């Protein structure tokens, strides 16, 4: 039996946390780190909280809403910074936030988890790498917006169109493992879809233009090289 894999990134957001308090600073949501690190496991009929503290100053905080099925995750450390993700039940789009080591907001935007109901009969596994989606805002340490990026400006060729294209372009390579990802070069103003397919170490990588979906390049590849 073939198995289909989908990578789900715990992607983020600015939902109100039940347990972890959020401080307002210049209209920007920041994490209250003292409250976060003093939180503990909890369970009632409405929510479940799991806290895992790592060696050093690392932490993983997961809060599940047992009524809606939504899930919030905060992870990171006072050394490297933090991320916050909120998974909304039955939605492929999530908000995602990154924070400086002091808990102040660094970046906020949306992610697409890559989930699809498309059936891929000609591959043994299919992985979609979660990708940045929609409008993102980047902040400096003082809370000022440094940059705004709208990723959809680089992609008129949609995710669903790319899935269909994936089946067509690599139909001559049955039973291979396939991976699809989306990337943007802000400097060059270019977006692209990258489709990789492997059988063992042998593979092929096809790049498509993010605006038109036209094939830009196709190269043989060896995994691990």
- What tens digit of pLDDT does each residue of 149-197 get? 999 999 999 998 998 888 776 666 667 788 899 999 988 889 999 998 8
Residue 70 near residue 77, CB atoms below 8 Å: no
pLDDT of residue 157: 95
Domains of the chain from N-terminus onward = 1-152 (no CATH), 155-225 (3.10.450)
Residue 114 near residue 92, CB atoms below 8 Å: yes
DSSP state for residue 151 in the 8-state scheme: G
Q: How far apart are CA 23 and CA 206, in angstroms?
A: 45
| Mean pLDDT of successive 10-residue stretches along the chain, which has 225 residues | 36 40 52 93 95 88 95 95 91 93 96 74 74 95 94 93 79 77 90 90 91 94 75
Distances (CA, A) of 96 to 8, 52, 133, 138, 163: 13, 21, 10, 12, 24
C-alpha 38: how far from its chain's center? 27
Specify the DSSP element, H or E, that contains 165. helix 159-169
Question: What is this structure's pTM?
Answer: 0.77
């Amino acid at each position: 039996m073939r198995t289909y894999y989908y990578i789900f990134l715990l992607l983020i957001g600015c939902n109100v946390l039940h347990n972890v308090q959020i401080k307002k600073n210049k209209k920007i949501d920041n994490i209250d780190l003292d409250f976060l690190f003093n939180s503990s496991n909890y369970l009632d009929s409405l929510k479940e909280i799991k806290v895992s503290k790592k060696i050093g100053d690392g932490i993983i905080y997961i809060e599940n809403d047992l009524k809606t099925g939504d899930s919030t995750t905060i992870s990171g450390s006072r050394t490297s910074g933090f991320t916050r993700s909120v998974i909304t039940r039955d939605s492929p789009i999530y908000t995602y936030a990154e924070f400086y080591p002091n808990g102040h907001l660094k970046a906020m935007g949306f992610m697409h988890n890559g989930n699809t109901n498309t059936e891929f009969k000609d591959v043994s596994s299919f992985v979609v790498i979660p990708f940045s989606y929609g409008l993102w805002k980047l902040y400096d340490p003082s809370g000022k917006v440094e940059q705004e990026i709208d990723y959809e400006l680089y992609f008129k060729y949609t995710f669903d169109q790319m899935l269909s294209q994936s089946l067509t372009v690599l139909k001559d390579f049955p039973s291979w493992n396939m991976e699809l990802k989306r990337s943007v070069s802000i400097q060059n103003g270019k977006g692209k879809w990258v489709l990789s397919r492997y059988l063992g170490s042998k593979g092929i990588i096809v790049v498509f233009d993010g605006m038109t979906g036209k094939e830009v390049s196709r190269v043989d590849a060896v995994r691990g090289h």
